[in-house]
Amino acid sequence: MGRYTCAYNCENANDSDVKFFKFPLYNPRKLKKWVTNMKWKDWTPTRFSVLCSNHFEEQYLDRTAKSVTLREDAVPTIFSPPDNTRKKKASVNPKRKRTKPPAKASEKESAQSATTSPTTAKNSTQNKELSQTEQQPSGDKDPRKAEKWRVIVDEGLMKIESFPHFFHGDYCVPQNIQWAPDNDFSTACENSENMIEVNEPWQWLGLDVRGPLPQTLNGHKYILTVTDYYSKWVEAVPMPSCLPSDVAKNIADVISHFGYPLRILSRLPHDIVHKINRELKDQLKISIALVVYHQQTGTADLITPQMIDRIVCDLSDEHAADWDVYLPAKVFSLCFKEHPETKERPFSILCCKGLEPVQSPRGLNYAYSKIQETVFVVI
């Protein structure tokens, strides 16, 4: 889990006493009071939505324990005076707003034309390689400053300007996000039915696709990464495309070496995840949906993706024509170094504990839809 330290329209938001509280989703009567007092129109809180302690009167805060908690009858009442009834605005990244130069007329026109493209065109491109939009020329932009590649995620997540917006539900809009392991996190405060603990190697994995990168002499443009959330072991494979068939083929190869995990989380578009599962069922002769769409894919482990990103940047800069040749050695070295979070080598945790690879699909007590609604906590 992560935390942010400053919220829009909240006084003393940088004070260490400011705490954040989740909405009472499992108490409809209390939840209705919270939402009514906020006076937002056409907005419903999610499991990631929170309010800071500045919205609660002191009588509702219990400061007797080590950390501040809410009393049972707590209801938020302190909000800025509304202009009649406001509609929820989209989140804005103020840093981006400050540093973004004025757009030229030609750039505005191109942006407007992009946003007004027909829906049918969007649907048709989903059945093709996801990289087609990345191959368009960048115009007069400085190639050194241009985004060379990205982690391919669901279109809905790509629209989020202040990432990760979905952790605070866009009410307290963050102004200065500092993501770090939440040492104060207590499982006692969480609903056990809505939380999955990751407490063993090769249980829950995260899948990402990065690209497009400079095409190598071998025709590779993308990198598929599979990360074990517990051990931090990383598998990275170069791919010529990010089609579901290519992704499924490499997932099957990883499973042949390390066995079946419980499930693999991914933030690829819903339809792509569905096609990957269909390919895996054919290739592995299984009946379960092994890959699960989940927004928390990139935030259950914050440090390892950053380390992977640095490797990808270095390889694409230093070895543009053959980064795929250097990739295995770089990732192998990463898995044999002490991880900043676990203080152990991923190899030691995954391969030296005497665990045998699971050779068949692993059953779960959670439905596919239930997993999507669950928060993952690495123990």
Tell me: do 172 and 206 sit in the same domain: no
Select the more confidently predicted residue: 222 or 45: 222
Q: Could you tell me which residue, 366 or 284, shows the higher pLDDT?
A: 284
Is 123 a member of any domain?
no
- Identify the pLDDT of residue 349: 94
Q: What is the pTM of this model?
A: 0.59
pLDDT at 128: 52
Task: Please give the share of the chain, as a percent, with pLDDT higher than 70.
Answer: 67
Give the residue, 290 or 189, on which the prediction is more confident.
Answer: 290
Greater confidence, 305 or 17?
Answer: 305
Which of 54-68, 116-130, 165-179, 354-368 is predicted least confidently? Answer: 165-179
Res 172: pLDDT: 52
pLDDT given at position 136:
38
| pLDDT for the residue numbered 36 | 84
Q: Which of 147, 170, 189 is the last residue of a domain?
A: 189
Q: How confident is the model at residue 10 (pLDDT cuts 50, 70, 90)?
A: low
Who has greater pLDDT, 145 or 32? 32
Q: How far apart are CA 353 and CA 147, in angstroms?
A: 40
Residue 14 sits in which domain range?
A: 1-104+155-189
**Does residue 211 belong to any structural domain of this protein?**
yes
Residue 168 pLDDT > 70: no
314 and 169 inside one domain: no
Predicted pLDDT of residue 233: 96
In a domain, 52, yes or no: yes
Mean pLDDT of the 79-105 span = 47
pLDDT of residue 130: 53
Q: Is residue 120 in some structural domain?
A: no
Last residue of a domain, one of 165, 189, 213: 189
Question: Do 164 and 257 fall within a single domain?
Answer: no
Res. 125: pLDDT tops 50: no
Higher pLDDT, 64 or 47: 64
* 275 shares its domain with 327: yes
Average pLDDT (259-266) is: 96
* 249 and 264 inside one domain: yes
> Which whole number is the average pLDDT over 104-123?
45
Percentage with pLDDT > 90 across the chain: 39
pLDDT at site 47:
64
Q: Within this chain, do residues 237 and 171 fall inside the same structural domain, yes or no?
A: no
- The reply to whether 217 and 198 lie within a common domain is yes
In a domain, 128, yes or no: no
The per-residue pLDDT of the chain, averaged, comes to: 75
Q: Which of 139, 168, 189 is the last residue of a domain?
A: 189
Residue 109 lies in a domain: no
pLDDT band at 251 (very low <50, low <70, confident <90, very high): very high
Domain count, the chain: 2
* Residues 184 and 195 occupy one common structural domain: no
In a domain, 335, yes or no: yes
> Do both 183 and 78 map to the same domain?
yes
134 assigned to some structural domain? no
Cis peptide bond prior to 164, omega within 30° of 0: yes
Within this chain, do residues 364 and 225 fall inside the same structural domain, yes or no?
A: yes
Digit-coded pLDDT (tens) for 53-63: 888 888 888 88
Q: Is the confidence at residue 94, as pLDDT, over 70?
A: no
Stretch 34-58: mean pLDDT: 78
Query: Are residue 235 and residue 374 in the same domain, yes or no?
Result: yes
Q: Do residues 240 and 266 both lie within one domain? A: yes
The mean per-residue pLDDT over the stretch 95-123 comes to: 45
CATH label of the domain that carries residue 226: 3.30.420.10
